[in-house]
Copies of this chain bind each other. A is one copy, B any other.
Amino acid sequence: MTTLSLSDPLFVTYVVAATLVILKAVSMSWLTVVRMLKEKGGFRSPEDIRKTPFNPDPSPQQLEPNDRVERIRRIQQNDLESLPYFLVAALIFVLTGPPLLLAQILLYGYVVSRLVHFVAYLSAQTHDMRAMLWTPGSLILIFITLWSLAATVL
């Protein structure tokens, strides 16, 4: 039985992968902030065009979608459709006691696939390229989930 202890290498693998995934996710919020500040736009609430110290020269155009801000929001949404599920699926997966090497390959592989997908999305690579880089992460998520279900019911 896997223990939730930092002396259990399966749990360590999970914690490293999960914390990297969470840091990646949180970075998207800050990247949105940075881009909104630089673009002085891409806001979404009517009150965001009130005059304030951070927005001394407001205009209605600031509420229109801004390409550079919307790109980060799409990346963040893409994260949301996968990362929260991975964080739980990976925890269950390590609790089923898989071989350590397999867990390391799959969990770290997921982290790497998401980081490479992020770079491709940020730099506006083709849809084909983005799809190709998104697929391994999704397949890893499906695999660890099916593994956990099989380990439990079989």
Interface residues of A (CB under 8 A from B): 1-6, 12, 15-16, 18-20, 22-23, 25-26, 28-30, 33, 43-48, 50, 52-55, 67, 71, 74, 76, 80-85, 87-89, 91-92, 95-96, 121, 124-128, 130-131, 138, 141-142, 145-146, 148-149, 151-153
Contacts and interface: CB of A to CB of B under 8 A. Distances in A.
Given A89-B19, A92-B15, A92-B18, A28 B74 contact: no
Given A18-B92, A127-B48, A26 B142 contact: yes
Contact of A15 (B5, B12, B148): B148
Contacts of A55: 127-128
19 contacts: A1-B5, A6-B151, A15-B149, A16-B152, A19-B89, A22-B85, A22-B141, A23-B145, A26-B138, A26-B142, A26-B145, A29-B138, A45-B127, A48-B127, A52-B127, A54-B127, A55-B127, A55-B128, A88-B88
A22 to B, nearest CB: 5
Nearest to A129: B52
A125 to B, nearest CB: 7
A44 B26 CA distance: 22
A126 B84 contact: no
Q: Indicate the member of A23, A88, A146 with the most B CB atoms within 10 Å.
A: A88
